[in-house]
Chain A
Amino acid sequence: MSKNKISFGQFAALLLISDAFAIICMRGRIGTPMALGILTAAAIQSVAAIPAVALCRKNFKISSSGTLWLKSILLAFSVMWGGALLINVWNTAKAIYIPSVFDNRIGDKLLISLLIAAVCLYVTSCGLKAIARAAVIAAGFGVICLIVVVVGAIGRIEPHYLEFTGSDSGYLDGIIGGFALGGSFGAYLMLLEKSADSVIKTTVFYFAGRIFFVALISFITISVVGAIMSITQFPFITAAELSQPLSSQRLDSIFAVVFVIFAILSISLQGIAISYLLKAIFPKFDKFRSLTSVAAMLCAAVILNVLAVGTKFYGMATALTAIAPAILLVARRRKNVCVK
């Protein structure tokens, strides 16, 4: 494997962790139409990945041969998504029970967010290979936790909550929400050139894993939380809380560990993507790129929080980023035709 390349398994683990974290932090009620909408959005993104795969197979590299506008779009998107993930940490921190010795002394959310940002700074500075290797181990831990949730959920699944009720207007919301959860698409585009294996194999493995994960977690959430969905703020966290495999012990705290690890890896992935893009746009900018990327994400988080942007904004941003490779592919073909 050549320098700074990652395997398809590492690639998929890294992006799936990022997707899983976004889903964990998702807010609002979810029904079957919405779940189908989210799955549709994932499928659309997998189709949108085809031009990127085609470009990559022609040895197109965003970092070296990408146009400035594409790099700038990806940079802006990565900063925005990094900020969104930090907001997710901020918003979800209270829902996940994280007690500490600083309770009632320092704001819980502030402490948690700052500490996670500090750790992200270190992780980002370690580089892509380190985080990719760590992602495989973290994904293994995540799979174990998912199995625990599935085992715990088995006795509580009530399939009738999966039936369509009322209007099917949730489907469109689901598609928008699905795009809003797909912020790792920017990192996907950026990291595709770092894949040591076939880009087709990498892409298929990642999107298949993503669709399977979304389908599984949506099924469990809807069928377990269905009865109290209307009063649930974080449906996926509630589903995990309700799916306790042991009768006399609660395992919620274990999920807090997953939450923290996934948060750090997700934010750091964006940090690394930003760092690479900064180097691609400003080749002489060599030092303090990790620090700059984390600082940019923190600023974005503050701005996005103040502006109180919602799902539609994130969904729109992901959709625009998703069509960028297609535009580039068409533009290059037209250029080739003109040259001929």
Chain B
Amino acid sequence: MNEFTTGGVRCALLCCEGMLSTSTITELVLHPITRINLALPNAELLLDHIENNLLLSVDRPIVKNYGELFRTINSGFAVLVVNGGNHALAFGVQGYAVRGISEPSGEANIMGAHEGFVEVIRTNMSLIRQRLKSPMLVQELSVIGSRSQTDVCLCYLRDRVPRELLSHIKQSLSRVRLETVLSTGYLRPFVESRRFEIFSSTGTTERPDVLCSKLLEGRVAVLIDGVPFAIVIPKLFCESFQTLDDYAFKPYYAVFIRWIKYAAFLISILLPSLYVAVSLYNPELLNSTLLMILAQAEKEAPITLMFEAVGALLMYEIIREAGLRLPKAVGGAVSIVGGLIIGDAAVKSGLVSTPMLTMVALAVTAGFVVPEISQSVTMLRLLFLVAGGTLGLFGISLVGCIVLVNICSTEDYGFPFTAPISPFKVGGMRDTASREGFRSMQDGGFTVEEYHE
């Protein structure tokens, strides 16, 4: 708190150390303020003079109560409190240490921009503005979190967003009574359906360019201060298989890659369970040569096929989790030890057969192709494996039916997760089963409202 007198009135400049730029506050705020001369020393006149005659910073909110005062100070503002004044003036002179804009770690691409969201909400808002210079872009700031007072920004294109969707999302967010919002996971349950959903019906992205494309399709985005991810509402299942590079490559190659991803998704979920189910209960599905190879390999294994598969999958998850939480250098070493040494040793010792390890490795690798849904894929892989190991193809069918119906029942605010496959929309298939060129897509004017039921 810096107390001083200017214009004959006693004032104080409140700020939080380390959250603002000292040089900026000195040059842009302190120097002009301390040089004010008023004919009549009066608090109201001083505040009026600063407010109307001095442009000390771009962001100049008026602070009217203690709560706002505390929040603005902790957001890196300098707040001028005048003795006898009925409000205070805040100046945006933030200067705290922030991570620079860098390439997103989870959504890397080859041909697109290499900028990702950062932790500062205003930087993220500007990243969107840079790409969408439309007057229709709306960025509504609000505060969520009774203790954290976290800034949350609702982004949408006024002329594209379905009105009902927007009002429902606002309603949902107004019901949040959390003390703090530290990640997207805090808010997502409030904007998703209450039903149990295997796959999340809201998406996240750390790429401003991806977010802009979603906004153009009439979706709503939620940015949270301190979180380098945006929540996108609603999300469709097929979007998990779309990347920005799809739109940079030649359409025929993009279609090829997209179908590879669909296949990889099925492989990642079903391969271990089908291998176990077919080997144990339905070997007639295999041709004799393959059957002999598998029988020969499994002859030496000391444990049943299902436990072998479950063990290998769990071992992978342990190694992955260990590598993820450790420092990068050590994490790499853990992966090498886990992947090469333990894997090789397990096969050589006969604990796990080579075909089984191949199946597990294939399934796990295929899971990396669609990282956005990797959590659901991991759980489904294990679930299908247990079902296939105990009940064969019958068990896989049962679980498959449950999963299918669950995915089909997933919908938020009337937008079915499985669109445009079911409900089938011919227009939507242009960017689902195939990827048409921009010459034909430019006239589409697609918005997500087409899928609303």
Contacts and interface: CB of A to CB of B under 8 A. Distances in A.
A7 B401 contact: no
A95 to B, nearest CB: 14
A248 B287 CA distance: 6
Interface in B390-433: 390-398, 400-402, 404-406, 408-409, 411, 416, 418, 421-424
Interface in A48-64: none
Given A134-B405, A249-B284, A129 B453 contact: yes
Given A10-B422, A257-B397, A260-B394, A129 B409 contact: yes
A134 B404 contact: yes
A101 B287 contact: no
A260 B285 contact: no
A257 to B, nearest CB: 5
5 contacts: A112-B394, A119-B402, A123-B405, A253-B393, A264-B401
Q: Could you say which interface size class chain B belongs to?
A: 35 or more
A1 B414 CA distance: 10
Contacts of B393: 98, 253-254, 256-257
B278 to A, nearest CB: 8
DSSP class of B's interface residues: helix, strand, loop or mixed?
Answer: helix
B390 A101 contact: yes
Given A129-B453, A250-B284, A257 B396 contact: yes
Contact of B408 (A1, A100, A122, A134): A134
Nearest to A4: B453
B285 A100 contact: no
B389 interface: yes
A251 B422 contact: no
Given A1-B453, A98-B393, A250-B285, 13 more contacts: A10-B422, A101-B390, A119-B402, A130-B409, A133-B408, A134-B422, A136-B421, A137-B404, A137-B408, A137-B422, A248-B287, A251-B285, A264-B398
Contact of A131 (B285, B395, B405): B405
B442 interface: no
A316 interface: no
B248 interface: no
Interface of A: 1, 5, 7, 9-10, 97-102, 112, 115-116, 119, 122-123, 126-127, 129-131, 133-134, 136-138, 248-254, 256-257, 260-261, 264-265
B394 A136 contact: no
A46 B408 CA distance: 30
Interface string B102-136: 00000000000000000000000000000000000
Interface of B: 278, 281-282, 284-288, 389-398, 400-402, 404-406, 408-409, 411, 416, 418, 421-424, 452-453
Contacts of B394: 98, 100, 112, 115, 256, 260
A9 B408 contact: no
A255 to B, nearest CB: 10
A275 to B, nearest CB: 15
Most chain B CB within a 10 A radius of its CB, from A112, A123, A252:
A123
B423 A99 contact: no
- 6 nearest CB pairs, A to B: A130-B409, A260-B397, A133-B408, A133-B422, A136-B422, A126-B409
B159 to A, nearest CB: 23
Contact of B418 (A97, A133, A261, A264): A133
Given A100-B391, A101-B389, A129-B453, A261 B423 contact: no
Contact of A130 (B391, B392, B408, B421): B408
Contact of B284 (A9, A253, A257): A253
Contacts of A249: 284-287
Given A9-B424, A261-B400, A253 B409 contact: no
B281 A100 contact: yes
A249 B395 CA distance: 21
B248 to A, nearest CB: 30
Nearest to A7: B423
Nearest to B390: A101
Contacts of B411: 129
A253 B282 contact: yes
A119 B391 contact: no
Contacts of A119: 398, 401-402
B275 to A, nearest CB: 14
Contacts of A251: 285
A97 B285 CA distance: 13
Nearest to B408: A133
Given A7-B423, A99-B282, A256-B394, A131 B408 contact: yes
Nearest to A127: B409
A253 B453 CA distance: 37
